[in-house]
Every structure is written in structure tokens, then in C-alpha cells.
Amino acid sequence: MTLEQEILMKISPSEEEREAIGNRARSLVGRVTEEAKGEDLELSVLLVGSVAKDTFLHNPDLDVFILFPESVPRERLESIGLALGRRVLGTGEERYAEHPYIHGIWDGLEVDMVPCYRIDNTSHLKSAVDRTPFHTRYVRSHLKDAQRDEVRLLKQFAKGIGVYGAEAKTQGFSGYLLELLIMRYGTFKGVLEAASAWKRGTVLDLGEGTGRRFDDPLVFHDPVDGNRNVASALSAHSFATFIHAARRYLGGPSERFFFPRRRGMLELEEMKGMLERRGSGVLVIGIERPCLIDDNLYPQVKRSLDGICALLEGQDFRVIDRAFHVAGGIDFVVELESLTLPPGRYHSGPPAWVDNAYAFLERWEKEGLSRPFLERGHWAVIAPRAYTGADELIRSKMSTAALGSDLREAKVLSIAMGPAAICEKNRAALSALLDKRMNWEI
């Protein structure tokens, strides 16, 4: 028995599980259909996603779409869709993609109930979710039966290496993209062999591509909408990780690519030793976590970390690396060449022959740490530095950094740097910075 066959035995639903999930899906669709009849709007209900396409792994989510006529106003679609979801799922949670939907539990399975428009073709799109029924129908009609297990292998591989899911937290490969890759290359191994030769900007299609150009790491023209790149959510990091994992797996297949060991936190002494060898220091900033769904939170966290690093670099602190950790709060971790800077800095002024040269001299003869001096025809001075400590700068100026809109008012809970930052409270955040092992290497 090959490794892939062994993996399939672990990840494929049994006939009993398949039948049980099918029964739960049918009962859910039936219940939603009954509730929808009361709206007198000619609503239809469609099961979409991996269960509808038979590409699911164990314990799948159920995705049920409520299709509205195009004549229904957007506001009414949203209000009726949410009301139907609450009636069917009880205490469901309202979530938001391009418009609100309800997430809840049905007979032990997680469920998303999403309203969308019933359109004839994707040129009539009113929102991005309107494509989803087309995706389901396309896969059901084009994916060969023998390829469904190949999709399962590819999904578990992507999960194992940490790049499964197009949501903002992961920025990886959606299930639909993985299904298209199997259709494009035929088998799990075929995808990995092709991926090992991918370059940034690789363009793929199923013979239905368009001339539209995309500036993304990977482009896969959507066969149901040629103006969309199915891989648009894929980050350069996830793209590179997949290529590297494909090459490594082909060179030495291992179950660890599918089922990696649990990643634990590094020990504090180990982290201290790593930083001592590097001669660098760390700054850890903890803030409150705003009440946002992950798809709204993670882009703002990444933007805020960039803004914090830009603030530091703007005051001459040199950033080596950065990371963040999200749990009950948000921790930003920045590794710096030096946590402190000298009190003086070189400051270049105007050429000696311009009219405002004397204004420069007048100011810096009083405020400089040296007398102004000529350097290649320009006045210069050793000026006092506004902030000599990275923590001091963050305490004073973090509110001026380019932070995510919902993080600007978040309360700063802690700022620590150097040895004081290497503590139990910060272990998870520091591990995110210092543990760069791939999942299968753990």
C-alpha cells in the first residue's frame, strides 16, 4: 500500500459517514425550503460546497445558499436571508462576507446559510457569492469520480503544510482552487510535480481563460467567470510554501506533510540563546483585541504591524524580523538590530550658498550636539535624537503609526523590550517570531 493510499484511508469519509452527512444535508435543505415557502418570493435552496461536490473530508461544514430573484432589493435579500437562517438554526451567529449570513449548527455539523441572487450567468453578478452555485455545478459536472480522492489528498496536504483556506487569516488555497488544480493536472502527484516548477505570475486555466491580466503570485482563470482569478487571495508566502513543500514531498514523501506534529512554544532559555547568538533584541507590544471577525481582523493586524515597523524605521531603528500573535489580545513582536540608539544623529542641512543657510546655523548652534560644519558644500550637524529607546518611541508615538482602522483606539496593554520581554506571557508571540520551521519539520 502506498503512502497516499494510507492517507486516503484516514481522511476519506466511510460509507456510513457519507450516508449520515447526506441525510443531515437533505434534512437541512428540506427545512430551509419549507421556511422559504412562507416568504412568497419564489426562493430556491441549494446545497453547495464540498459536501455537494463530494470532495469533503471528515466532519465537513454544510453550505446552504438561498437563491433570490434578481428583482428583490439588496436590503430585503439580507433581512429575509438572516431571518430564515435564525429561524432554521435558532441562535445562529451573524457573520459578514460581502453581505451578512448566518453561521450555526445543524445536527452536529457547522452550517453557513448564505443569501444570494439567482442569476443566469456570471455577467449578471450582483455580489461575489452569486458565483458559488456556478462553482458547485461546474465541479460536479467536470470533476471525474476518480479525481475526488485526489482532491481529498490535495486538501489534506494543504491543511498539513498550513496553506488551506482563502480566508484572511491564512491567505491560502481555497477548496475550489484545489479542485481546479486536480482538474488541470489530473492527480495529486501531478499537481505537486507542476507546482515544483511554478514561478511567480504562473497563469493557469482549463481552456477557458481570458486575456485579462492579474498581478498575483498565481493566476487561475475561473472557468465560470474568466474575469476573476480564483487564486486572488493567495499570498506570496503561501504560494512559496506550497512550492517548497511540493519539492520536499516529491524528494522524500512523509505522513508529516499531511499530519504534522503539534507545534509547541519554544522554551524561554532557548529563545534567549537564539537572540544572544544573533546579537539582536525584541520589542513586544500587546494591545486589546477588538470584536471583529477574523476576515476583518487579520488584514488590520498585518497592516498595523507594518505601520509599527515603519514608525521604528522612520526613527532609525533597523528592523530584522517581525511577527504577531492573536489570542485573547494581539501581540506585535519586532526584532531589532539594536533596541537603543545613541543620543546624537547626523543631520544634513542646506548648501552653504542658499539664502536659508543662516537660519540652519542659527538654530543648530543652539540646539545641536555639535557646532554646524560643512560637508561637501552642505551644512551638517550632530542633532539630538528625539527617541533613543524603541519602547520610548512606541509609548509616545504609536498612535501616529499607520494602524488598522479598528486598532487605532485599542488599549495598549503592555510594552516590553530586551530581557524583560522574554517572559512566559510573551512565549507564544516570541515563538511565532523565532520558530521558522515548516510544519512538516516539527
Look up residue 333 and give its amino acid: V
Domain boundary at 140, 165, 194, which?
A: 140
Q: Supply the CATH number for residue 174's domain.
A: 1.10.1410.30
pLDDT at 275: 96
pLDDT tens profile 217-264:
999 999 999 889 999 999 999 999 999 999 999 999 999 999 999 999
Q: Is residue 307 part of a domain?
A: yes
Q: Give yes or no: residues 214 and 127 share one domain.
A: no
Residues 49 and 114 both lie in one domain: yes
Residues 436, 315: one domain? yes
The answer on 372 and 359 residing in a single domain is yes
Query: What is the predicted pLDDT for the residue at 5?
Result: 97
Question: For 293-317, what is each residue's pLDDT tens digit?
Answer: 898 999 999 999 999 999 999 999 9
Point out the domain boundary residue: 80, 112, 140.
140
- Are residues 170 and 280 both part of a single domain? no
Over residues 200-206, mean pLDDT: 95
Examine the pLDDT at 40 and tell me if it is beyond 90. no
Same domain? For 31 and 159 the reply is: no
Query: pLDDT at position 23, please?
Result: 96
Question: Does a structural domain hold residue 162?
Answer: yes
Q: How many domains does the chain have?
A: 4
pLDDT in tens, 86-144: 999 987 888 877 778 999 999 999 999 999 999 988 888 888 899 999 999 999 999 99
Give the pTM: 0.93
Cell numbers at 353, concatenated: 550658498
On whether residue 120 sits in a domain, the answer given is yes
Question: Is position 375 within any domain?
Answer: yes
- Which of 395, 411, 427, 390 has its CA nearest to residue 329? 411
Give the pLDDT confidence score for residue 122 in this predicted structure. Answer: 85
For residue 306, the domain's CATH number is: 3.30.70.590
User: Looking at the predicted structure, is the pLDDT value of residue 210 above 90?
Assistant: no
264-295 pLDDT, tens digit each: 999 999 999 999 999 999 999 999 999 988 98
Q: Are residues 403 and 309 in the same domain?
A: yes
Domain assignment of residue 191, yes or no: yes
- Please check whether residue 380 lies inside any domain of the structure: yes
12 lies in the same domain as 92: yes
Whole-angstrom distance, CA of residue 184 vs CA of residue 204 = 8
For residue 48, the domain's CATH number is 3.30.460.10
Is pLDDT of 410 > 70?
yes
pLDDT (tens digit per residue) in 345-401: 999 999 999 988 999 999 999 999 999 999 999 999 999 999 999 999 999 999 999
Q: Which of 140, 166, 181 is the last residue of a domain?
A: 140
Residue 57 in any domain: the answer is yes
- Encode pLDDT of 131-189 as tens digits: 999 999 999 999 999 999 999 999 999 999 999 999 999 999 999 999 999 999 999 99
Same domain, 199 and 222: yes
Q: Is residue 405 part of a domain?
A: yes
The answer on 325 and 229 residing in a single domain is no
Residues 30 and 86 both lie in one domain: yes
Same-domain check for residues 403 and 437: yes
> Which domain does 279 fall in, by range?
268-340+388-441
